């Protein structure tokens, strides 16, 4: 049920993956709680699955905050020295599974999905079959919640996969970082919190930062592309997208827990308090904003990438320069991905407020670190 104006009574809450950026989900939960929004179903990938399971278990926002603020690197990452020495390249992961399992056991409900007070969906990937497996759906409920949550958090190469009912399962973000589609059936609206595929900072000197950083950068780019595809194809029910501004932090930034929790709270308050009658629409992604698109003609090389990626929005003019079909458009936070694909950053997108004031939208721009 919801006591928040504009939020339907039956809503699904979807928490995406993104490493420790997912602490922002705790702030989102606080904002929802203050407004009396109680999801009818909750779904998550990776850390989103972990926090979703803690919510279903009944942990308070205060308890989640305390655990997030006290978490240290050694609590999660312990190198599997024996495995690396004995099995070398055949070792299943760089880190031991026990620390992650202990965290999951302390936060997630005991028992199976059938035992839960509200429906919980945990997104994983069957590594051998190459398919998504969302535990908690009909026919996938008779497994331990802690096994599913561990698997959803098991980033390939970092933590060992988990064998569940004969399936070798890993992090759900490999194929669906914000599993909104599976949670959308039978609800009036979806609230999706995306912390792993928002704006990217420029990864300078990435070649010098080791294989782990190169791998994580690749994962971030992959999840971002998959997320953009899902949102671009979204039709119904209406989806309220919350994107906390946590892109400047690394996936495993233990020193910024408080900042990320607060960022989630502030972003959720802004979106929820401005929802109006948006979710009365039959579908689409909200909130929507008035955007002005501009092209720096001197910088534009005429490569045509933008017109190829967004033929309904961009064109090539008589001088083979990129130009918007319409200078002013209405976009959700899921639109405009083509802006960042310009190889010379010749395209900018600015929010136009009601008073004509403009400001740069960081969602559409790759910024330096």
Active site residues: 46, 171
Strand residues in the chain grouped as ranges (E): 11-15, 41-45, 120-126, 131-135, 162-164, 167-171, 189-193, 239-242, 285-286, 288-295, 314-316, 322-324, 328-332, 347-352, 358-360
Token pair of 174 as six digits = 């490999």
CB within 8 A of 200, min separation 6: which ones? 220, 221, 224, 247, 340, 366
The DSSP line for 212-270 is HHHHHHHHHHHHHHHHHHHHHT--SS-EEEE--S-TTS-TT-GGGHHHHHHHHHHHHHH
CB within 8 A of 264, min separation 6: which ones? 23, 24, 25, 26, 27, 28, 31, 193, 195, 242, 244, 246
List the Cα angle 316/321/322 in 5-degree steps: 60
Is the Cβ–Cβ distance between 96 and 79 less than 8 Å? yes
Among the listed residues 183, 150, 143, 196, the one whose alpha carbon sits nearest the alpha carbon of residue 169: 150
CB within 8 A of 19, min separation 6: which ones? 46, 47, 196, 250, 251, 252, 253
Work out the number of other CB atoms within 10 angstroms of the CB of residue 94.
18
CB within 8 A of 219, min separation 6: which ones? 155, 173
């Amino acid at each position: 049920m919801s006591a928040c104006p504009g939020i339907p009574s039956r809503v699904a809450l979807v928490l995406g993956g993104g490493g420790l950026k997912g602490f922002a989900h705790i702030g989102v939960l606080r904002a929802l709680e203050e407004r009396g929004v109680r999801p009818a179903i909750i779904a998550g990938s990776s850390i989103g699955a972990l926090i979703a399971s803690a919510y279903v278990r009944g942990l308070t926002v205060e308890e989640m905050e305390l655990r997030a603020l006290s978490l240290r690197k050694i609590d999660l990452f312990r190198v599997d020295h024996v495995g690396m020495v004995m099995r070398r390249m055949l070792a299943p992961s760089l880190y031991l599974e026990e620390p992650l399992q202990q965290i999951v056991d302390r936060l997630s409900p005991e028992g199976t999905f059938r035992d839960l007070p509200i429906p919980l969906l945990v997104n994983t990937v069957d590594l051998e079959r190459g398919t998504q497996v969302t535990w908690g759906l009909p026919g996938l409920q008779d497994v331990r919640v802690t096994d599913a949550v561990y698997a959803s958090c098991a980033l390939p190469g970092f933590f060992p996969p988990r064998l569940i009912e004969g399936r070798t399962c890993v992090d759900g973000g490999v194929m669906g970082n914000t599993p909104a589609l599976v949670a959308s059936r039978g609800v009036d609206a979806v609230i999706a919190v995306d912390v792993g595929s928002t704006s990217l900072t420029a990864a300078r000197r990435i070649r010098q930062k080791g294989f782990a950083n190169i791998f994580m950068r690749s994962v971030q780019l992959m999840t971002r592309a998959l997320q953009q595809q899902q949102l671009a194809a979204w039709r119904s029910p209406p989806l309220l997208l919350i994107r906390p501004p946590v892109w400047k932090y690394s996936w495993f930034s233990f020193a910024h827990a408080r900042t990320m929790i607060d960022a989630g709270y502030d972003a959720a308050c802004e979106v929820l308090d401005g929802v109006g009658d948006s979710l009365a629409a039959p579908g689409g992604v909200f909130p929507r904003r008035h955007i002005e698109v501009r092209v720096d003609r001197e910088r534009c090389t005429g490569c045509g990438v933008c017109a190829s990626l967004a033929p309904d929005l961009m064109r090539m003019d008589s001088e083979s320069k990129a130009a918007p079909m319409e200078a002013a458009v209405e976009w959700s936070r899921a639109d405009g991905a083509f802006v960042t694909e310009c190889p010379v950053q010749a395209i900018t997108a600015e929010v136009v407020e009601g008073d004509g004031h403009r400001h740069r939208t960081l969602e559409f721009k790759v910024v330096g670190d």
